[in-house]
Structures are given as structure tokens and as C-alpha cells.
């Protein structure tokens, strides 16, 4: 039987591997010849073992006279400054009637344009332009939901003309401005219900595909969820038309053996759709952390935004947000209850075996 390494040995191995989240737990290391302390994932050249001291936290290292490394920012001071600068830029975008230029945003933040752009993408998950477009889309959606005429809502949201919105309605709102203003008025959403192993199940579908999958609540509550999203749509039972779809979902809940592939009508922001696409890409029977999801879409610092996009997913199972877990494997929250999330994951693991 191999000997169990002591803590300092495990830390040294993690330092050499530049492991930012070592199995031995968080720690910092100081280099006596340089007078600095670092994170284990620091990109600096590895020091000699005899020059290294290990510490549990920054105050302990500072008490021995070491200062924080400027490259890996072990105290998070630089990261906090960056986050504050990007929050200020987001506030400026929110308050502006027109989209501020990249140069104006970077100058206000005090960074070079290329550096500001990289920070903004890392922290928010999108470019400043995409963020500003989402702000305009949100303003437009709010105005349309309040009943404003399309022309007035478009102008008030900061679009130069209606054509800018109509030329790419799916990218802006996930639907045409008229449909958003009508709250689904003029659309027909067919529904079907069934009893599943995890409780009552409802599927809703437009002419474009499935727009809602809910379960584990009574039918009235499930229909209420659907109607809140499409308050003026015509919702009508269509058990025969959706019979094959409902059978497919019920079978998946009973014994999942493969990904639940359905034609979908997904309506969300560009960032949300990036997250949802990444969710669908998670292999059957596996899980990912929110941080791994953020990495997958190229936005490693947008962990909270990823979590919000997961929570705003209306087609559970088909877009498998249940496959996302906390950093330590904790199941965190789930719209339909953590016990059901646990059951789904257990069934998927068993189905993959």
C-alpha cells in the first residue's frame, strides 16, 4: 500500500502542477528569495522546494513579512478592482440612451481598449456591445409588455428604426416585436399532460417546437407557469397531437437511456441560448459545475450569469439543467426540487452503465 503523502507534500505537488483547486484544499505558498506569496495556480516559474513555505491564508503569510504576488493576485484585490470597473461600465450602459462606444467605456474605466474588452468578456460572459444590445432588448420587451405601440417602444429602447429589430427578431427578443407586445396573442400553444414517475407532467408546444416542459406540480400550477410566459396566447389541450412527445418525455423520466431530443422553441437572450446550447452538449450520464459551464462558453467569470440562465430554462429535461451541480458536487437548487434532481441524475448514471 502506497504511503499517504503529508500535507506539505500534497501542496508541493499541487504547486508544481499549477492546480488552482487542489484536492488537499486551498492554500498559499511563499517564496523566501522573492518575498512574495502566491496561489498554487500562479503562472510564475516554480521555485525551488527549499525556498517555499506554505500558508493557510493571506494574513498568515503577511504576518511573516511576505507581500502578495502581482501576477496571481492571491488576495483578490486586483480582481475586485476589475469587477468594480466592469460593474461601473454596465451601469453606464444601463443609463445611456444610446450604446456607448468601446473607446468611451474603456477610457472611463481607465484601461486600454483591448484589456477592457477582455475583462468585460471574462466577467460578464459577453462583449460590451452584446451587453448593450441585451439592455436595449430588455427595454423594448418591457415597453411592449406595457402595451406601447411597436414604433414607440422601438424608438424608446434606442433602436434607430423598426427594421433593426425586424431584421433579426429571434436574436433581439426570441420573437417578433408584435408577438412580444401581444404576450403571445395570436399564438396557439398546444398542451398535453400525463402522470410520470416524478409526478404530473405537462408539455407545451408552439408551431415551432416544444416551449415548455414542467413536472412535479399539479396541472393547474404547471399551466400557470406556462401562461405567465405567454399571458395572451391561446392555450389549448392537444393530447393526440402531442401524444408521441409526451410519451417520449414520460419514458425518459422512467428510464433515461439517451438524451431527450425534441424540436424546441427556445426564446431567450444570446447569452441564455449559449448557456442552453452548452447544457445540451453535456454528455448523458455526466454532470458539470457552474464554473465548468462558464468555461465552456468562454466566460470563466460569468458563473452567476450562467446559474441565472440555467434557472430561466423553460424546457427542463430537453435542456438538461439538472446536470449542473455546485463546485463540491452539491446539487444546489432545482426548479422541480433537489430530490427529483438527485433521482434524475441517479437514473442517468444507471442508464449509462
310 is annotated as contributing to ligand binding: no
DSSP run (H or E) holding 261:
none
Cell of 316: 427542463
C-alpha triplet 287, 292, 295: angle, nearest 5°: 145
Helix 113-124 × helix 102-109 angle, to 10°: 90
Q: Write the DSSP symbol of residue 51.
A: G
CA dihedral angle for residue 289, residue 335, residue 313, residue 139, rounded to 10 degrees: -110
CB-based contacts of 45: which residues, under 8 Å, 6+ apart?
none
Please state the separation of Cα 192 from the chain's center in Å.
29
Cell of 170: 429571434
Helix 128-145 × helix 102-109 angle, to 10°: 110
211 is annotated as contributing to ligand binding: no
Q: Which stretches of 125-212 are DSSP H helices? A: 128-145, 150-157, 162-166, 169-172, 177-181
72 is annotated as contributing to ligand binding: yes
CA-CA distances (angstroms) from residue 260 to 255, 283, 318? Answer: 11, 12, 5
Please state the separation of Cα 166 from the chain's center in Å.
27
69 is annotated as contributing to ligand binding: yes
In the block, residue with C-alpha cell 446539487: 331
Q: What is the set of active-site residues?
A: 38, 321
Closest CA to 88 of 102, 103, 105, 101: 105
Q: Which stretches of 5-127 are DSSP H helices? A: 7-17, 58-63, 77-95, 102-109, 113-124
Q: Residues marked as binding?
A: 38, 42, 69, 72
Q: Residues marked as binding for Zn(2+)?
A: 38, 42, 69, 72
Amino acid at each position: 500500500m502506497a504511503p499517504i503523502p503529508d500535507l506539505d507534500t500534497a501542496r508541493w505537488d499541487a504547486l508544481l502542477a499549477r492546480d488552482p483547486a487542489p484536492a488537499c484544499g486551498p492554500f498559499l505558498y511563499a517564496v523566501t528569495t522573492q518575498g512574495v506569496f502566491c496561489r498554487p495556480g500562479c503562472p510564475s516559474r516554480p521555485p525551488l522546494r527549499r525556498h517555499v513555505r506554505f500558508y493557510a491564508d493571506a494574513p498568515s503569510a503577511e504576518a511573516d513579512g511576505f507581500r502578495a504576488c502581482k501576477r496571481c493576485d492571491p488576495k483578490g484585490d486586483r480582481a475586485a478592482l476589475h469587477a468594480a470597473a466592469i460593474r461601473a461600465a454596465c451601469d453606464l450602459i444601463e443609463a445611456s440612451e444610446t450604446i456607448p462606444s468601446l473607446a468611451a467605456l474603456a477610457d472611463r474605466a481607465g484601461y486600454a481598449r483591448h484589456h477592457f474588452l477582455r475583462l468585460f468578456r471574462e466577467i460578464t460572459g459577453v462583449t460590451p456591445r452584446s451587453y448593450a444590445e441585451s439592455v436595449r432588448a430588455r427595454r423594448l420587451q418591457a415597453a411592449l409588455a406595457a402595451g406601447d405601440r411597436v414604433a414607440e417602444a422601438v424608438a424608446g429602447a434606442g433602436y434607430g428604426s423598426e427594421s433593426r429589430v425586424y431584421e433579426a427578431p429571434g436574436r433581439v427578443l426570441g420573437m417578433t416585436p408584435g408577438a412580444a407586445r401581444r404576450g403571445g396573442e395570436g399564438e396557439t400553444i398546444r398542451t398535453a399532460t400525463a402522470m410520470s414517475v416524478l409526478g404530473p407532467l405537462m408539455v407545451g408546444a408552439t408551431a415551432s417546437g416544444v416551449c415548455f416542459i414542467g413536472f412535479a406540480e399539479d396541472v393547474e400550477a404547471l399551466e400557470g407557469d406556462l401562461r405567465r410566459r405567454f399571458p395572451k396566447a391561446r392555450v389549448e389541450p392537444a393530447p393526440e397531437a402531442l401524444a408521441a412527445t409526451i410519451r417520449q418525455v414520460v419514458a425518459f423520466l422512467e428510464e433515461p437511456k439517451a438524451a431527450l431530443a425534441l424540436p424546441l422553441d427556445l426564446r431567450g437572450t444570446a447569452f441564455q441560448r449559449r448557456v442552453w446550447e452548452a447544457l445540451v452538449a453535456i454528455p448523458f450520464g455526466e454532470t458539470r459545475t457552474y464554473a465548468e459551464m462558464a468555461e465552456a462558453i468562454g466566460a470563466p467569470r460569468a458563473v452567476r450569469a450562467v446559474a441565472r440562465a440555467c434557472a430561466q430554462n423553460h424546457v427542463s429535461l430537453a435542456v438538461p439543467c439538472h446536470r449542473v451541480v455546485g463546485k463540491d458536487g452539491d446539487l444546489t437548487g432545482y426548479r422541480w426540487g433537489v430530490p427529483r434532481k438527485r433521482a434524475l441524475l441517479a437514473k442517468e448514471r444507471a442508464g449509462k452503465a
